[in-house]
Amino acid sequence: MYKEIEEGVNLFNEQDFFAAHDFFENLWINADNSDRLFYQGIVQISVGGYHLLNENYRGAHSQFSKGTTKLKNYVPAYKGVELKFLIQKIEKIISKLEFYFLDKNVEIKIAEFPKVEKIQNLLKGD
């Protein structure tokens, strides 16, 4: 994984989504064109996680949808971060939120929130 994003990934994986958002937003603002959508997508996924924690399900759905759309430009991986499975897991949460909008009895669990995986961890089987 690229050192410049490791702290943000750790914040994200600890579900400190507000701090992860701030971290990645700073990288996004200063990024060159090839990295901008990647960072913006990670910012939006982080904001979606923050909204999900605070039970703002409409906000979570909106940010997750925007973020996954941007991250799809970088599949399967970028900057040492696995994206294909992360996007698939976020899309499952999006689907669950859509069912929740139809039937408020659907349970939304933050424990199901995916972590950002480093490519080397996946290759080692960690």
Domain boundaries, the chain: 3-124
Residue 86 three-state SS = helix
Amino acid at residue number 116: V
pLDDT grade for 118, boundaries at 50, 70 and 90: confident
Q: Which residue has the tokens 């906000």?
A: 59
pLDDT grade for 105, boundaries at 50, 70 and 90: confident
Task: Provide the CATH topology of domain 3-124.
Answer: Hyaluronidase domain-like (1.10.3450)
Determine whether 123 is exposed, middle or buried from the number of CB atoms within 10 Å of its CB (0-12, 13-18, 19+).
Answer: exposed
**Considering the entire predicted model, what is its pTM?**
0.89
More confident residue, 119 or 4: 4
Residue 96 three-state SS = helix
- Given a contact cutoff of 8 angstroms between Cβ atoms, the answer to whether 39 and 24 are in contact is yes
Q: Tens of pLDDT along 16-71?
A: 999 999 999 999 999 999 999 999 999 999 999 999 999 999 999 999 999 999 99
When computed from its CA atoms, the radius of gyration of the chain, rounded to whole angstroms, is: 14
**Which H or E run contains 95?**
helix 84-102
* pLDDT number for residue 3: 84
